């Protein structure tokens, strides 16, 4: 099955192709980006809005993902606004510093967090499927590692011996929030054959 990615991000399309290969699902990035207002209150709503908009524009089955970092003790930051956090910061290195400052008063047990990914496969207005993946961990006190992107250097996944996500790229490829959502999608689409 072929799906158009509701994004022109070729890196994301490549990553999804690797994660969805076992299900014979092929992802192509859109030739052009369309503006979608992501004003949903949940990751699921925003993934749906993107998938539906690209489906209507390109008239082909689409897949969209919406993901982010959630800190339950600080629901007022990040979450569905993860990518838009601290827009005045030039890059994620600065955003990470800002985030660490924002939560500096939190005790270690209050720094629990999780990355979440919602995938929306939009085949038609009557056939829409959602898959969720999460990876749990803690926000560290410093950035570590050079692999990964976004908040990976300050997110320390559970069970990784105090290493940041940016230090365990091989583990991340198999166990990230996106990998888990893709694994559920592969299982589902295999069962549909």
pLDDT in tens, 46-99: 999 999 999 999 999 999 999 999 999 999 999 999 988 999 998 999 999 999
Looking at residue 135, its pLDDT comes to 97
Average pLDDT over residues 15-29: 92
* Domains by residue range for the chain, with CATH: 2-191 (3.90.950.10)
Average pLDDT over residues 145-157: 92
Instruction: Find out whether 33 and 58 touch, Cβ atoms under 8 Å.
Output: no
Instruction: Find out whether 40 and 49 touch, Cβ atoms under 8 Å.
Output: yes
Looking at residue 149, its pLDDT comes to 83
Looking at residue 193, its pLDDT comes to 65
66 has catalytic annotation: yes
State phi, psi for 104 to the nearest 5 degrees: -60, -25
Residue 134: strand, helix, or coil: strand
Cα→Cα distances 168→60, 174, 175, Å: 36, 10, 10
Average pLDDT over residues 117-145: 97
Instruction: Find out whether 77 and 71 touch, Cβ atoms under 8 Å.
Output: yes
The two beta strands, 2-5 and 62-70, are parallel
Average pLDDT over residues 20-32: 91
Q: Report CA dihedral (167, 71, 85, 82) to the nearest 10 degrees.
A: 70
How many angstroms separate the CA atoms of 106 and 165, rounded? Answer: 20
Looking at residue 186, its pLDDT comes to 96
E strand or H helix that includes residue 174: helix 169-175
Looking at residue 147, its pLDDT comes to 85
Catalytic residue among 35, 65, 66, 147: 66
């Amino acid at each position: 099955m072929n799906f158009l990615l509701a994004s022109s991000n070729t890196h994301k399309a490549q990553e999804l192709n690797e994660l969805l290969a076992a299900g014979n699902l092929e992802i192509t990035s859109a030739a052009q980006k369309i503006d979608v207002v992501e004003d949903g209150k949940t990751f699921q709503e925003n993934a749906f809005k993107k998938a539906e908009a690209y489906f209507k524009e390109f008239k082909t089955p689409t897949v969209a993902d919406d993901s982010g970092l959630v800190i339950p003790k600080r629901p007022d930051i990040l979450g569905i606004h993860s990518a838009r956090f601290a827009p005045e910061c030039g890059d994620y290195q600065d955003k990470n510093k800002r985030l660490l400052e924002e939560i500096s008063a939190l005790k270690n047990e209050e720094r629990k967090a999780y990355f979440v990914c919602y995938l929306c496969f939009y085949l038609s207005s009557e056939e829409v499927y959602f898959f969720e993946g999460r990876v749990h961990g803690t926000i560290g006190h410093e950035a570590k590692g050079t692999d990964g992107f976004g908040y990976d250097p300050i997110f320390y996944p559970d069970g990784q011996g105090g290493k940041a996500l940016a230090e365990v790229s091989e583990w991340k490829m198999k166990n990230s929030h996106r990998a888990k959502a893709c694994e559920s999608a592969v299982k589902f689409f295999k069962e549909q054959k």
